[in-house]
Amino acid sequence: MSGRSVASMRSAPTAGRRSPAWAAYGAAWAFAFSLQSFYYAAGGTAGAETWPAAIAEPVLARDPAWVAIMWGTGAAKVLAGLLALALFRRWGGRVLDRLLLVTAWGAGVFLALYGAANLVQHALMVAGVVATPTGLGETAARWHLWLWDPWWILGGLLFVAAARAFRRGP
């Protein structure tokens, strides 16, 4: 043998290929995020203080419209997870591959910008630069600043990374 280990020879054919790991991380993020929506839709109450009162109150009161919204947002997050999983491989058609790529990029950019804009807004509220709306409340503003806004940014970055890996191809 030429001094190369068996392990390095086994990994050589895959060197330079895209890794589907980013898609898996994006999927895990979306599926984990869907659990929160399904939890509240099913009647869960823990952590409701992290939400704006304008949302938490009708959800906790089991308002049918808000419960339906929670089920719908949970389903949308599952669809986002399925999109991330679809980025594991090429689907054989330029149109479908292009649609997946554009959708993943769009989702990633939207999620990251949404989280970043909210992060700035909530940071200004917590710092006292701008008033915190009574419908949001000081507690929810802090939770958004330290948990929810970064969570949205993370999801966006994971989707962008998955889209980049998919675009590079095998």
- Averaged confidence pLDDT in the chain: 84
| Residue 1, pLDDT score | 47
What global pTM score does this model have?
0.79
Considering only CA atoms, which of 29, 18, 73 is closest in space to residue 51?
73
| Residue 77, pLDDT score | 94
| Residue 157, pLDDT score | 92
Distances (CA, A) of 63 to 56, 75, 140: 10, 19, 21
Amino acid, res. 60 = L
What is the distance between the alpha carbons of residues 168 and 18, in angstroms, rounded to a whole number?
7
Task: Identify the weakest region by mean pLDDT among 20-29, 71-80, 91-100, 126-135.
Answer: 20-29
Task: Identify the weakest region by mean pLDDT among 18-22, 41-45, 86-90.
Answer: 18-22
Res. 115: pLDDT tops 90: yes
- 111 against 56, higher pLDDT: 111
| Residue 7, pLDDT score | 45
Which two three-digit tokens encode residue 22? 């980013």
Which two three-digit tokens encode residue 44? 């869960």
DSSP state of 148: I
| Residue 18, pLDDT score | 52
Instruction: Count Cβ atoms within 10 A of the Cβ of residue 127 and give its class: 0-12 exposed, 13-18 middle, 19 or more buried.
Output: exposed
Task: Identify the weakest region by mean pLDDT among 13-22, 118-127, 158-167.
Answer: 13-22
| Residue 10, pLDDT score | 41
Res. 137: pLDDT tops 80: yes
List, in order, residues 6 or more apart from 23 with CB less than 8 Å away.
84, 85, 86, 87, 88, 162, 165, 166
Amino acid, res. 54 = A
What is the distance between the alpha carbons of residues 57 and 48, in angstroms, rounded to a whole number?
9
